[in-house]
Chain A
């Protein structure tokens, strides 16, 4: 893993077209400005992880769900 030290206002570049700028530092919080090509998904890691887990759970539990119950839920 590459570890770099940067100051507020400085940037790092990944490949030709991704630039991550240290926009602002306030105590323990760092604000980043990200420039990336249109359509490259950018997520907060912890949310991405929850999204992935939710999809895996949906795959696993789809066998146990009863569509009839879901429809019943809709009409209640």
Chain B
């Protein structure tokens, strides 16, 4: 168990078994260990364990973009140690869009919730943008 004092979340108590390792890291964040916490359903926080003030809002994209989807490469599947699709959770980060909100559909987070391994992938698919408005 780790207890951290943070500006944003107050005292944050983290169990070892909730820590998700991102072996490739997350570009722009120099750490590999993260946790996911509820914010306001379905919105969640992705929080760096090593610097909990590094946190972003994430959400499952399918509620907002019902046709969203992509295929995982064998390489990524092997990094995630994924055996079945049900183990995987998909999230996209949320960003400000003018006065509204956008989602980064171009580089989703794929997380193996049973093995606690995560990867941020980059989709070649031209349909998906780094800033896709949810609310304009």
Contact = CB atoms under 8 A, between A and B. Distances in A.
A16 interface: no
Interface residues on A, range: 20 to 34
Contacts of A39: 23-24, 75-76, 78-79
Interface of B: 8, 23-24, 26-29, 39-43, 45, 54-57, 59, 63-64, 74-76, 78-79, 93-96, 100-101, 104, 106-107, 120, 122, 130-131, 134-135
A15 interface: no
Contacts, number: 100
B57 A62 contact: yes
A14 interface: no
A71 B95 CA distance: 14
A58 B93 contact: yes
B101 A54 contact: no
Contacts of B79: 38-39
Given A53-B28, A55-B28, A71 B94 contact: no
